[in-house]
Amino acid sequence: MAAVVVMIALVAIWRPLTFASVDPDVASARGVPVRALAIGFMLLLGVSVALSIQIVGALLVLALLITPAAAAMRVTSSPRLVVVLSVVFAVTATVGGILLALGGRIPISPYVTTLSFLIYVVCRVIGGVRAKRGLNGRVLSESAVPAA
């Protein structure tokens, strides 16, 4: 039940939270309650982590909450695509870990954590290659642009 409340709350605050995350100064100037959104988001995150730790443990919560999002941020700059990719990466690591654990003697957690880390490494390499080629969609600062 609490998970449903968290999901509904996230859907309700998605747009202002995204705006406040991208540019908090402009969001504040436009009347978005940036501080209240930050506190609300931290409360929702805390509830999510508290619920998850009881079910899967601390290691998997960190591996499935932080690593997929960090990997997704390496390959795209779109907030919507980051959410979609992080869910795909987390599900891939989880299903892959379960399948690998079926044939081995090691529990699921190390497999899921390792797969999540490998996804991050691959995304970091892809992001680095795209950044070198200027294909990552991010704005480069003037000092980072080579002189012609």
Strand stretches in 65-148, DSSP E: none
Are 63 and 126 members of one domain? yes
Identity of residue 38:
A
| Rounded CA separation 108/131 (Å) | 34
The answer to whether residue 143 scores a pLDDT higher than 80 is no
| pLDDT tens digits for range 90-129 | 999 999 999 999 988 888 889 999 999 999 999 999 988 8
pTM: predicted TM-score of the whole model, two decimal places: 0.73
Residue 147: exposure state from Cβ atoms within 10 A (0-12, 13-18, ≥19) = exposed
User: Could you tell me the residue range of the domain that residue 77 belongs to?
Assistant: 57-137
Are 65 and 125 members of one domain? yes
User: What does the pLDDT read at residue 111?
Assistant: 92
| Rounded CA separation 123/112 (Å) | 16
| Rounded CA separation 72/120 (Å) | 8
The per-residue pLDDT of the chain, averaged, comes to: 86
User: What does the pLDDT read at residue 103?
Assistant: 82
| Rounded CA separation 114/43 (Å) | 29
Number of domains in the chain: 2
Are 40 and 112 members of one domain? no
Q: Report DSSP letters for 11-38, one per residue.
A: HHHHHHHHHHHH-HHHHHHTT--HHHHH
| pLDDT tens digits for range 58-94 | 888 888 889 999 999 999 888 889 989 999 999 999 9
